[in-house]
Amino acid sequence: MSRRQLERGAALRGMVSSEGIVPLGADFPTDGSGPDTDCHILHLDMDAFFASVEQLRNPEARGRPVIVGGTGPRGVVSSADYLARAKGVHSAMPMVRATRLCPDAVVFPPDGRAYREVSEAVMDILRSVTPLVQPLSLDEAFLDVSGARRRLGGPVHIAAMIRERVRSEQRLTCSVGVAATRFTAKLGSTHCKPDGLLLVPTDQVRDFLDPLPVGALPGVGDKTEQTLVKLGLRTVGALARVEPDLLRMELGTKAGTRLSELARGVDTSAVVPESPDKSIGAEETFDVDVGDPDVINRELLRLSEKVARRLRATEQVGRTVSVKLRRADFSTISRSRTLPESTDVAREISAVARELYAAAGMERVRLRLVGVRVEGVTPADQAHRQLALGEEDTGWRDVERVMDRVTARFGQGAIQSAVLAKRDENDV
């Protein structure tokens, strides 16, 4: 986050009153009957993402300011946690200056591979809710949950569920804005950082926007802001009351029209996934490191069912199955196998995943995380599955589709594999 973005965020948090913004509590409606009824757009923003990942990987850094960036004489800051930000550190700042401002900070060089891996896991959580996910970067994304409401409840309930899953599965925090438009949802997530959830009801959007500085609007850089201030337009509310023709004359037709609409809370842009899924996966971080192969195999089955369910929900199939196995010391290995035919059947995915786990020689190694992923994903109608000579159709695909329908109607856990059901009984 740049210095200018930090300043805008601070202004947003400092100038927006909570009056008119619906407070969130345990009694908030979960069925979409509350003030979030038409607020189907979510914006998720991970909190100090790079720095938070480094704190996870390096427990000795917890509780201390963390800075991520180049450590050479010309190095610059890529990310800083909130302790470091409180000392004035921000992204793009020379590292020499950052360490002067915050001499007790722990500095880590960027590890793009580690950040992409965690980002991928977070995006998998989002795509398990809806296929309409538009990542903006490694640490933020828009979601359109209009199609998930019948299955999962109201938008605020979905946002709370996502935040809890990110916390429990990735041990990271995120902030989520909920609104009827992308623009307002993004401002909402900025306003409630860190580790917050904010709903901006449609009938209160103007109350939310009007006090903001014009610099809070996307597309308003230093030059545009100076132009608006010379016109006496310092707040979004003032901008909203100006005739659009004046803004078009001063800023150009396109920019003037866009800013006039945003100031009035109008944003017709849709959530558009960047590209079709190339892979679909799921993973689980255990509360306590696990070394029991039976427990690991049951978890691989559960994750395989989760992946297969997502494949079927998006009418896709995949051909390569991979597993991720992370030891207690955070070292991670991956193994994969390509199948003769593409599949969306959990039983087939699970069988390969368990074989890969056994072949990795880690059946007595304590693991902190396991994951299952299907790669080489293509639309199901483009994949032609053929039975080999003498092979019988097992019918498992039909069985699992019936399970999908039961789950969609009655919720998660209404029906599951006997192995997983037995596990749950033993846990009671």
Catalytic residues, by residue number, are 140
Residue owning tokens 């969609």: 408
Cα–chain center distance at 187: 16
* CB-based contact 344:317 (threshold 8 Å): yes
Please tell me whether 139 is known to bind a ligand.
Answer: yes
The distance in angstroms from the start CA to the end CA of the chain is 45
CA R_g for the chain:
24
Burial 142-167 (b: 16+ CB within 10 A, else e): bbbbbebbebbbbbbbbbbebbebbe
Calpha distance 255→358 (Å, rounded): 59
Calpha distance 91→101 (Å, rounded): 13
Calpha distance 172→165 (Å, rounded): 9
Strand intervals (E) in 95-138: 106-108, 133-137
**Residue of 139, 207, 106, 164 whose CA lies nearest to 1:** 139
Residue owning tokens 């599955």: 385
Phi, psi of 46 (to 5 degrees): -70, 145
Burial 44-67 (b: 16+ CB within 10 A, else e): bbbbbbbbbbbbbeeeebeeebbb
Calpha distance 123→275 (Å, rounded): 13
* CB-based contact 280:311 (threshold 8 Å): yes
Helix (H, G, I), strand (E, B) or coil at 299: helix
**Residue of 152, 117, 127, 137 whose CA lies nearest to 377:** 127
Please tell me whether 398 is known to bind a ligand.
Answer: no
- Hey, what amino acid is at 226? Q
- Hey, what amino acid is at 55? Q
User: DSSP states of 367-396 as a string?
Assistant: EEEEEEEEES-EEGGG----PPTTPPP--H
Helix ranges, 264-292 (H): none
Annotated binding-site residues read 45, 139
Annotated binding-site residues for Mg(2+) read 45, 139
